[in-house]
């Protein structure tokens, strides 16, 4: 959730306006169009705005923009969300001022900017409630606001199609560029606070730590990072929120998902399908609902489900427990898609064919990205990544080693294993383990230490023997 004190944003807004900041996109509303749109009832214009209402938007309503701004400042403490865009809907006939926002639960809220109470008539419960000055209240479709004689009905959809006129009947200001830096700063703090109890992405892994997957990374940037960073630019896009990363074990699916979350600087929740299968039997559907709810509340969120095939197997009708979970996930995925939440769900599997077909169809996990075994350049790149901080002998022939590893058809996890094993072989060669045991190890022993060709030869030999014994499973695979 992006949080920024409204005082900051309003002040920014004012200074941006004063200085005719280059990012200011405040549109003057011409007299003619104002006259025209004022004939359209306010609730219809509002409904039209609501159709495009995003979290971080603020709609001010009243006669005069400056007064609305002044009053909003007095009620600033009501807002805990960063205001990224302000819209102003002028209305000559309204005897008061109102502000509309979208809260973290995605509900519309009204803030009473007046010094007198306003009323909210709940049509469903047939009762009326008074809203004290400067207070806020969430709204549901059908509620009616009574503002000093004016009645405004809250509608989700406008009866008249105003989409084409929207630009003409409101003024808008985007803070996105003006205050990006502050939003980012606040976000970091807030997200860290909010996700205290959530397993967070390792702070180290970034895309530069992933080798041989440049095309895939490019795709993830376009499909996840940019939509998260620039939601407005993507407002007309049919954004894909569900992804499947598939490929052989150890190719870096989990590694890539972690790097993605770190690059996007968002909340990262990671779980393992096979662990959940047994742990959550009985209450699994509710757990899935809670999980998605939490992801929504802490959005932007990347929810990563490793070994998704363990829970999203093709429904057979025989496995009642499993079928229910698949159905539940399908519903939850459809919901986040319909509600256009900033939640991306990434499933990873070694067994793509086993996945339920409905789950991978359009609108759910509709983007399928293959994480391939590395080619020659990829293998060398991964080797460089994993040896970057290792003390390598200067005479080591990295080129030939890279080629040798490629010929062995190793995965990223295997390369990591081989490099660590070579390190360990070097410790054996110089009796470092022994010295540790005898407590005779000195700083000099470590300073003089290099991993040599011989260490790599032994490590590769051990790897090949172990792999032949364990068949196809990537032995570098570590969880």
Which single residue brings its beta carbon nearest to ligand ATP?
A: 412
380 belongs to the binding site for ligand ATP (CB under 6 A) = no
CB within 8 A of 322, min separation 6: which ones?
277, 311, 313, 315, 316
**Residue number with CB closer to ligand ATP (158 or 254):** 254
56 belongs to the binding site for ligand ATP (CB under 6 A) = no
* Interatomic CA distance for residues 93 and 37, integer angstroms: 12
Q: For the chain, how far is it from start to end, CA to CA, in angstroms?
A: 30
Q: Work out the angle at residue 58's Cα, subtended by the Cα atoms of residues 175 and 99, and round it to the nearest 5 degrees.
A: 145
**Residue number with CB closer to ligand ATP (61 or 348):** 348
Binding window for ligand ATP (CB under 6 A); candidates: 180-188, 360-368, 410-418, 441-449? 410-418
Least separation in angstroms between CB 310 and ligand ATP: 11
Binding window for ligand ATP (CB under 6 A); candidates: 115-123, 188-196, 245-253, 327-335? 245-253
Candidate list 251, 262, 301, 328; residue touching ligand ATP; CB under 6 A: 251
**Residue number with CB closer to ligand ATP (52 or 473):** 473
212 belongs to the binding site for ligand ATP (CB under 6 A) = yes
348 belongs to the binding site for ligand ATP (CB under 6 A) = yes
382 belongs to the binding site for ligand ATP (CB under 6 A) = yes
**Residue number with CB closer to ligand ATP (101 or 350):** 350
467 belongs to the binding site for ligand ATP (CB under 6 A) = no
Q: What share of the chain is helix, strand, coil (3-state, %, to 5)?
A: 45, 15, 40
475 belongs to the binding site for ligand ATP (CB under 6 A) = no
**Residue number with CB closer to ligand ATP (176 or 309):** 309
Candidate list 6, 29, 210, 343; residue touching ligand ATP; CB under 6 A: 210
Q: What one-character-per-residue DSSP string does 67-131 give?
A: HHHHHHHHTGGG--S---EEEEEE-TT-SS-EEEEE-TTS-EEEEE-SSS-EEEEETTTTEEEEE
**Residue number with CB closer to ligand ATP (176 or 421):** 421
Least separation in angstroms between CB 479 and ligand ATP: 7
Preceding amide of 300 cis, omega within 30: yes
Q: How many CA atoms lie within 13 A of 427 on its CB side?
A: 14
- Among residues 5, 50, 48, 55, which one has the least CA distance to residue 343? 55
250 belongs to the binding site for ligand ATP (CB under 6 A) = yes
Least separation in angstroms between CB 386 and ligand ATP: 6
Candidate list 90, 211, 227, 231; residue touching ligand ATP; CB under 6 A: 211
Binding window for ligand ATP (CB under 6 A); candidates: 76-84, 208-216, 419-427, 448-456? 208-216
138 belongs to the binding site for ligand ATP (CB under 6 A) = no
352 belongs to the binding site for ligand ATP (CB under 6 A) = no
Candidate list 59, 179, 330, 413; residue touching ligand ATP; CB under 6 A: 413
Does residue 103 contact residue 82 with C-beta atoms inside 8 Å? no
Long-range contacts of 277-283 (CB under 8 A, 24+ apart): 277/310, 277/311, 277/322, 281/321
CB within 8 A of 17, min separation 6: which ones?
24, 26, 173
Quick check: helix, strand or coil at residue 303? strand
**Residue number with CB closer to ligand ATP (227 or 378):** 378
Write b or e for each residue in 58-95: b if 16 or more Cβ atoms lie within 10 A of its Cβ, otherwise e.
bbbbbeebeebbebbeebbebbebbbbbbbbbbbeebe
* Interatomic CA distance for residues 172 and 89, integer angstroms: 9
Q: Work out the angle at residue 476's Cα, subtended by the Cα atoms of residues 246 and 200, and round it to the nearest 5 degrees.
A: 65
Binding window for ligand ATP (CB under 6 A); candidates: 183-191, 228-236, 251-259, 461-469? 251-259
The contact set with ligand ATP (CB under 6 A) reads: 210-213, 249-255, 306, 348, 350, 382, 385, 412-413, 416, 476-478
């Amino acid at each position: 959730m992006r949080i920024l004190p409204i005082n900051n944003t309003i002040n920014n807004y004012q200074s941006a306006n004063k200085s005719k900041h280059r990012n200011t996109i405040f549109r003057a509303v011409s007299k003619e169009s104002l006259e025209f749109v004022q004939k359209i009832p306010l609730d219809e214009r509002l409904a039209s705005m609501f159709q495009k209402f995003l979290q971080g938007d603020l709609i001010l309503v009243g006669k005069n923009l400056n007064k609305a701004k002044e009053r909003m400042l007095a009620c600033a403490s009501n807002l805990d969300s960063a205001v990224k865009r302000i819209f102003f809907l002028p209305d000559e006939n309204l005897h008061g001022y109102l502000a509309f926002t979208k809260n973290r639960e995605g509900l519309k809220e009204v803030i009473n900017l007046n010094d007198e109470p306003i009323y909210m008539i709940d049509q469903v419960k047939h009762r009326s409630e008074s809203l004290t000055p400067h207070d806020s209240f969430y709204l549901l479709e059908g509620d009616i606001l009574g503002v000093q004689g004016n009645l405004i009905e809250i509608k989700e959809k406008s009866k008249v199609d105003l989409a084409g006129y929207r630009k003409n009947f409101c003024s808008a200001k985007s803070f996105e560029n003006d205050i990006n830096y502050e939003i980012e700063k606040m976000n970091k703090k807030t997200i860290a606070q909010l996700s205290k109890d959530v397993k967070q992405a390792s702070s180290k892994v970034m895309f530069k730590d992933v080798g041989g997957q440049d095309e895939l990374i490019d795709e993830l940037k376009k499909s996840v990072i940019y939509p998260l960073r620039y939601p407005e630019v993507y407002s007309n896009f049919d954004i894909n929120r569900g992804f499947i990363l598939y490929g052989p074990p150890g190719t870096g699916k989990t590694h890539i998902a972690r790097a993605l979350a770190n690059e996007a600087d968002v909340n990262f929740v990671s779980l393992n399908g096979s662990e959940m299968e047994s742990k959550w039997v009985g209450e699994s559907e509710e757990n899935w609902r809670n999980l998605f709810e939490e992801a929504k509340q802490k959005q932007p969120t990347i929810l990563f489900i490793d070994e998704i095939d363990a829970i999203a197997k093709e429904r057979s009708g025989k496995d009642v427990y499993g079928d229910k979970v698949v159905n539940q996930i399908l519903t939850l995925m459809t919901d986040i898609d319909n509600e256009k939440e900033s939640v991306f769900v990434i499933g990873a599997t070694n067994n793509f064919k086993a996945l339920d077909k409905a789950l991978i169809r359009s609108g759910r996990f509709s983007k399928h990205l293959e994480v391939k075994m590395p080619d020659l350049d990829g293998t060398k790149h991964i080797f460089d990544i994993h040896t970057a901080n290792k003390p390598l002998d200067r005479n080591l022939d990295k080129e030939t080693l890279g080629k040798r590893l490629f010929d062995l058809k190793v995965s990223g996890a295997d390369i990591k294993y081989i490099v660590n094993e070579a390190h360990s072989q070097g410790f054996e060669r110089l009796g470092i383990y022994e010295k540790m045991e005898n407590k005779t190890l000195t700083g000099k022993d470590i300073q003089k230490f290099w991993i040599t060709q011989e260490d790599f030869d032994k490590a590769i030999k051990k790897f090949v023997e172990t792999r032949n014994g364990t068949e196809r499973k990537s032995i570098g695979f570590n969880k």
